[in-house]
Structure 1
Amino acid sequence: MFRFIADEWQRLWRDKWLLASITWVPILLAVSLWWIFSQGIARALPIAVVDHQQSRLSHELVRYLDASETLHVSTHFQSEYDAKRALSGSDIYAYVVIPRDFDRDIFLSNPPQVSVFYNSQYILVGKLVNSSVLRSVGTFDAKIQTAKKLASGNSTIKSALGKAVTVRTQITPLFNSNSNYAQFLVSAIVPAVWQIVIVVGTVLTLAMHKRLGTMDKWLEQGVVGAMTKTLACYIPIYWALGVGFLLWFYAYLQWPMQGGYAVLIFAQFATVLACTLVGAVFFFMTFDAARALSFAGAFTAPGFAFMGITFPVTDMGTLAQGWRSLLPISHYIEAQVSQVSYGASTLQTLGFLVPMLGYLVLLLVLAKLAPKKIKGALA
């Protein structure tokens, strides 16, 4: 067996494209993705202000906006047209318009309308800008109302503040409490890339054996057995990538981990097996590397979108939920979240892996399909 593994890894070493695809390329991709989101929390997003009032009160509102950790008032424009051009050119993420009668409406207790325009194509940035502006304007409004109550007399600062802000809220995030985007996105994007690497790597491995002519001997040895031995040589590589990413996130970078590693490492092993079976089926469906890679890419590309990390699964359409259930990484990510965020029991986490037993059906498909394709190629 050791001789067989050594021979297979020698073939891998000679195939530089396959070697790169399952070793340093996924590592480089993972590091690049982490670097992109390494800041973790979005701060000082540039916004502009169009202040038609130019008064002490309007300038104070601008200071409240600029005081937010998320926002930075980088530019002042004289017109909405100039501000819109800057927004379209991605120079700013939003602009705030303060109306001309801002002061008069405040003194007459007629709430002025402060308008905010932002590019909703940047969904995450748009949410941050929206919530930060609302928070800043809310604080400014509370100060104005408190000052009015105090000016009317017969009020203490505490009672005036109580009348200005009748209901106080305390919103406490239980998971990802510091709203770190690196922990939120990278810990899901990297497993999605990992799934693509395994499926594509399996297709390229089988294509290599077809090109070298070693598949001809599989008919004598038993196709399923020979194919299983061959692909098993690559499982440690894929598994090591997964475990490496896991330890990098939660041991080296010290991202919060509420559960344990053992059950997740087992879940990764199950995911590697499932992805390998999927890749093998795609190859023998077409028995052509280019077409198989096209199928593999189309199948695995929506992996991140269908995970349920950035968009709730319950709101997905029937087609999306069906596609999601076919992706091995969707079941793995549920196990990962259950351990990392919730600290679930081992039994609960293993429950998310039960649907992966369905991938064993692909062994029956391969037992019928692979010998037929290999014989057809020899005929």
Structure 2
Amino acid sequence: MKALIPETGFRAVFCRELVRMARSRLLILVVFILPPLSFAFIAWFFSQGVLHSLPVAVLDQDNTQLSREIIRRMDATPGIRIHLSVSNFTEGRQTIQSGETYGLVIIPKNLEKDVLRGLAPNTVLYVNNTYMIAASLIMKDATMAMQSLSSGLELKSHMAEGRTRQAAIGHIQPIRVDVRVPFNPYANYFYFLAATLLPTMLHMFVITSAIYAFGSELARSTAAEWLEKAGGSPWLAVFAKIFPYTLIFCAWGLFMNAFLFRMGVPMEGSGMLLRLGTSSMVLAYQAVALFLVAVCANMRMALSLASFYASTAFAFVGVTFPAMGMPSAARIWGDLLPLTHYLRLFVDQTLRGAPVQASMDAFGSLWLFVILAGGTGLILMPGRMKNPAYWGRK
């Protein structure tokens, strides 16, 4: 077997790195074990996809046929489940504060009488907006239920006055809004969150493993041996060392995308561009890792900077909060993250079905990271590898 592996050159460094990887429990964990575990956990956590049956309390102070119809209609919506009936406002508020329910519906006294007299009484809805997604869904479904019921009552009133059904509908809503949702019409949170969290997890494993691979050579003072295996060529040493990680994480990236599509995420655009974009994200974060190690010449410092850089990324990529609503500094920081550009490409090619040209700026941005960060790292790294002053820094 040893006869098949040359003493120096690309293959020698490549095989040396495979041996180092196999002997490192940390690398085995980060490269082979955590990626599939994190994918499986996120997929399980968001497997329901669409939120439904969120518990809501009701305070019925009217106790009439109309109030019972309101309760029935709200309970029939996908997002609301009337969990319990309370006897007073304090009891209802306590159910929200304790987390037992997400909201409280109050049907005021004399509601039915006021409706019959032609008045417009209010049904009050309290929601716990600490949970913004749940609160928004409850408000949407409650509003739709009340609008449907109100329109039905008004329709009956106009038809009782002798109007035809069509004329009565036109009087109730002379101008209607025809809402059409071309992208993610299912309001499926798996498509929205899981499909962005999986790449977020992947990029953390990529940058961590790359920093450890490069930084450990300096920390353990094995850089001279590494360079010797490469025949004295620093660039060959870098490329051969990172190559096995590139192959493995590109494979994980392809598996991640196939897994997402298997779970129902639509693929409306170019699959080839998405595959190239996924591999480019891997290369971009490996380039950033090389840059951090070369600049810091200290594995611990590089890992600390990478943890800040990678762990905060999800807050700035424009998924949970629109980038156009962020302050300028936050938008600039988001643009300095390869994940931001990859997720734009991912959403464009999966949910939006955008033309290839629309995603080329995101694809090009990923390669800017490869060229600028990787190029800087390649310029600085030879000096770190050859100078013993940079060795042994833990």
Q: Does 1:18 align with 2:27?
A: yes
Amino acid in structure 2 at the alignment position of 1:246: N
Q: Does 1:197 align with 2:205?
A: yes
Specify whether residues 368 and 147 from structure 1 end up closer, same or farther in structure 2 by C-alpha distance, changes over 3 A only.
Answer: same
Amino acid in structure 1 at the alignment position of 2:237: A
Q: Which runs of 5+ in 1 are unaligned?
A: none
Q: Does 1:42 align with 2:42?
A: no
Residue 330 of structure 1: how far off its partner (Å): 1.1
**Which of 276, 282, 289 pairs up with 1:279?**
289
Q: Residues 64-96 of structure 1: CA distance to partner in whole angstroms, max 9, x if unpaired?
A: 101111111111111111111111111111111
Q: 1:17-96 maps to which residues of 2 (within 5 A)? A: 17-96=26-105
Specify whether residues 267 and 192 from structure 1 end up closer, same or farther in structure 2 by C-alpha distance, changes over 3 A only.
Answer: same
Q: Residues 39-65 of structure 1: CA distance to partner in whole angstroms, max 9, x if unpaired?
A: 111111111111111111111111110
Q: Does 1:333 align with 2:343?
A: yes
Q: Which residue of 2 aligns with 1:126?
A: 135
Q: Which runs of 5+ in 2 are unaligned?
A: 1-9
Specify whether residues 185 and 229 from structure 1 end up closer, same or farther in structure 2 by C-alpha distance, changes over 3 A only.
Answer: same
Specify whether residues 2 and 224 from structure 1 end up closer, same or farther in structure 2 by C-alpha distance, changes over 3 A only.
Answer: closer
Mean alpha-carbon deviation: is it higher for 321-330 or for 168-177?
168-177
**Which of 164, 178, 186 pairs up with 1:178?**
186
Q: Does 1:234 align with 2:239?
A: no
Specify whether residues 3 and 164 from structure 1 end up closer, same or farther in structure 2 by C-alpha distance, changes over 3 A only.
Answer: same
SS of 2:312 mapped into structure 1: helix
Whole-angstrom distance in 2 between the partners of 1:280 and 1:188 = 25
Higher relative contact order, chain-length normalized (CA < 8 Å, sep 6+): 2
Query: What percentage of aligned pairs have identical amino acids?
Result: 23
Whole-angstrom distance in 1 between the partners of 2:106 and 2:300 = 54
Q: Residues 190-231 of structure 1: CA distance to partner in whole angstroms, max 9, x if unpaired?
A: 111111111111112123323443212356624343222211
Whole-angstrom distance in 1 between the partners of 2:306 and 2:384 = 18
Q: Residues 270-315 of structure 1: CA distance to partner in whole angstroms, max 9, x if unpaired?
A: 2111100111222333333333222111111232222222322211
Whole-angstrom distance in 2 between the partners of 1:333 and 1:28 = 21
SS of 1:49 mapped into structure 2: strand
Amino acid in structure 1 at the alignment position of 2:316: F
Residue 2 of structure 1: how far off its partner (Å): 3.6
Q: Does 1:261 align with 2:263?
A: no
Specify whether residues 161 and 344 from structure 1 end up closer, same or farther in structure 2 by C-alpha distance, changes over 3 A only.
Answer: closer
Mean alpha-carbon deviation: is it higher for 163-172 or for 36-45?
163-172
Contact 1:102/1:112, CA 8 A, preserved across alignment: yes
Q: Does 1:346 align with 2:359?
A: no
Whole-angstrom distance in 2 between the partners of 1:145 and 1:121 = 35
Contact 2:207/2:306, CA 8 A, preserved across alignment: yes
Contact 1:105/1:111, CA 8 A, preserved across alignment: yes
Q: Which residue of 1 aligns with 2:164?
A: 156
Specify whether residues 79 and 314 from structure 1 end up closer, same or farther in structure 2 by C-alpha distance, changes over 3 A only.
Answer: same
Q: Which residue of 2 aligns with 1:110?
A: 119
Q: Residues 335-364 of structure 1: CA distance to partner in whole angstroms, max 9, x if unpaired?
A: 222211233333433332222343222234
Amino acid in structure 2 at the alignment position of 1:213: S
Q: Which residue of 2 aligns with 1:244?
A: 255
Contact 1:58/1:98, CA 8 A, preserved across alignment: yes
